[in-house]
Structure 1
């Protein structure tokens, strides 16, 4: 059975890479909808426009900072800020709060999921449904990553390293 350190060394890049990939997909959808709303002036209301732009911002946030943690973890050693439990926890907790707000806001605006065959109020119905779905997917991913970091933090504290200890033992 592989050690927890080897699981973290292999799993971290996969998890953060998947997070960046789904944030890139979300970025593409949100940017497309924003461009359409801006060029055609056909947004159903300012609340939809603002929430789509917020998701656009969150996508950029996740790609930039998630990418930094991905590269930093691969390049940096075991004693680096990019490998510490506290740093990961802070980033993931803040990102979780912001994505939860984004997903909840777009869900509230759309009233759950849109039935594109019966509704006529929202233009770009399929894209808005995809935007909502990927937002919730990212929330689930960040939640699982946050729980894993919390577990590693408890293990680090029990080792005597505290929460400043690394996700991977030196």
Structure 2
């Protein structure tokens, strides 16, 4: 498990950060268009897209910090513990499931851009929903791996302050 996390954690987190940057770009563009043209179908959609923008910024900023701390290894011991990463990943996981579900619900589940006339930026909303759910899926895999690692570390006797990888 530690060898798996040694290469999988940076890989998964890099993918999550790249997808969050894409999500940030799409949501920022949509927020700018909604603010400039006031052509959102209802205020809840505009609010949910803004929330997705916030979650994207959260993920890019704190995900990058978390990845850098992980790569630094034992230099900052409390910040590289299983508990710290589990709390951060869980909080981010909750934020993303809320963002993905909120935007998905506001458009009625899915959008078929060729047949709908209600939503102005149909393709962009579809991409926003798709990337939100993909980020949530990657965070789910990462959360499961961290929980499994936490169980291993606790059984070994290191407690939750044990590292994600053995040194």
Category of TM-score, reference length = shorter chain = over 0.9
User: 1: CA distance between counterparts of 2:79 and 2:98?
Assistant: 26
Question: Does the 8 A contact of 2:103 with 2:129 survive in 1?
Answer: yes
Match of 2:79 in 1: 82
What does residue range 1-170 of structure 1 map to in structure 2 within 5 Å? 4-77=1-74, 80-170=77-167
Give the SS at the match of 2:113: coil
User: 2: CA distance between counterparts of 1:48 and 1:79?
Assistant: 41
User: 2: CA distance between counterparts of 1:5 and 1:95?
Assistant: 22
Q: What is the deviation of 1:76? A: 3.5
Give the SS at the match of 2:74: coil
Question: Does the 8 A contact of 2:99 with 2:132 survive in 1?
Answer: yes
Unpaired runs of 5+ in structure 1? none
User: 1: CA distance between counterparts of 2:43 and 2:156?
Assistant: 52
Aligned residues: 167
The CA RMSD measured in Å over matched residues stands at: 1.2
Unpaired runs of 5+ in structure 2? none
Question: Does the 8 A contact of 2:69 with 2:76 survive in 1?
Answer: no
TM-score, length-scaled by structure 1: 0.94
Question: Does the 8 A contact of 2:2 with 2:149 survive in 1?
Answer: no
Question: Does the 8 A contact of 2:96 with 2:135 survive in 1?
Answer: yes
TM-score, length-scaled by structure 2: 0.96
Q: What is the deviation of 1:22? A: 0.5
Question: Does the 8 A contact of 2:9 with 2:142 survive in 1?
Answer: no
